[in-house]
Each structure stands twice: as C-alpha cells, then as structure tokens.
Amino acid sequence: MTGRKFEVAADFSLEDYLQNSLGIERGPQVYEVIIRFHRDQARWIKERQWHPGQVMEELPDGGLVLKMHLSGLQEVKRWVLSFGSRAEVLAPPELRREVAREAKELAALYDHI
C-alpha cells in the first residue's frame, strides 16, 4: 500500500472508455466482430443488448448474425467459446483463428476418452 489516493480525471468518461468493449476489457485496436449463432441460441441472443452499437440479422434457418465493433478480442473469444459449437466467428480472421486454436486445445484434453 502506498497510501496515495487514486483520482479520476475530471474529463474521464467510463462510457466513452468502454464504448468498444463487450464488458470491461479493451485493447489497442478496434475490430468488426461478426458471429453467427445457431438457431438454438438465436432467441437468447436477441433478448439482450450485448453492445450499444450491435447489429443483428436473422437468418432464414432461424440462426442469427451479430455484428459489433470491439477493441480487443480476448473477452469476446471467451464469450464465443461459452456457446460451444452453437457460435461461429465469421470475422475478424484473428479471432476466428484464436477460437479455433482454443477449441483444438480443448478437444485434445478429451482425445483419450
């Protein structure tokens, strides 16, 4: 403990600071994130606003595409993985690769079964 007090700058806006985040994490670059959800998840995804600038597109098969601009990819990677095979990252390629890598590592844990 330093004994020093943290002081928030008078012009600081938490809303502005988090405008391109899914929750609380942000990164140095803004990405257009596009995720396709299986119809089993579409209703649940539609019921909530995940991001202030989100755009949703309903698909003929009952699925849903969600588009958002996010800074940083780690938080959304964990979120997408929580849906298992019911969510597919369409963009950006960096996020798609990261989710695929994580899914392969997860599958490897169960190879011996």
Note the pLDDT of residue 20. 52
With a pLDDT cut of 70, the percent of the chain lying above it is 83
**Architecture, CATH, for domain 14-109:** 2-Layer Sandwich (3.30)
List phi, psi (to 5°) of 5. Answer: -95, 140
Check if the beta carbon of residue 83 is closer than 8 Å to that of residue 41: yes
pLDDT, average across residues 23-36: 80
Place 26 in a pLDDT band, splitting at 50, 70 and 90: low
Q: Where are the domains of the chain?
A: 14-109
Report how far residue 7's alpha carbon sits from residue 101's, in angstroms, rounded to the nearest whole number. Answer: 40
| pTM for the full predicted model | 0.81
Note the pLDDT of residue 16. 53
pLDDT single digits (tens) 59-96:
999 999 999 999 889 999 999 999 999 999 999 999 99
76 or 10, which is more confident?
76
Average pLDDT, the chain: 87
pLDDT single digits (tens) 11-23:
644 565 555 555 5
| Residues found in the chain | 113
Note the pLDDT of residue 31. 94
Distances (CA, A) of 101 to 55, 80, 104, 108: 27, 13, 5, 11
